[in-house]
Amino acid sequence: MSGKQKKTLAMIFEKPTRSDVRYVDVRAILIAAGATCRDGKGSRVRFEKGPSSIHIHKPHPARVLPKYSVDLIRDFLFEIGVQS
């Protein structure tokens, strides 16, 4: 993982949940962790790794994820064995 990805990963696992985590940075972390990305209808995105999966929406028009999406991503990363 690059330095930027490590910084973003630390932001994801930070408590209280941050509201300034960018979608493109999270996508890069999930793909680096081995998850596959599939676009759904509209702004839906599905990330899968093994039996675990997560569905989120791409943020628009803003580029940052809402707090509840960051919480879901944190849980998914923990499920697939990625920790800060």
Domains of the chain are: 3-79 (3.30.920)
Tell me, what's the pLDDT at 83?
80
Kindly report the length of the chain.
Answer: 84
| The 3-state secondary structure of 8-38, one letter per residue | HHHHHHCCCCCCCCEHHHHHHHHHHCCCEEE
Helix (H, G, I), strand (E, B) or coil at 46: strand
pLDDT by residue (tens digit) across 11-69? 999 999 999 999 999 999 999 999 999 999 999 999 999 999 999 999 999 899 999 99
pLDDT-based confidence at residue 2 (cuts at 50, 70, 90):
confident
pLDDT-based confidence at residue 1 (cuts at 50, 70, 90):
confident
| Closest by Cα among 9, 31, 3, 19 to 59 | 19
**Can you give the pTM of this predicted structure?**
0.90
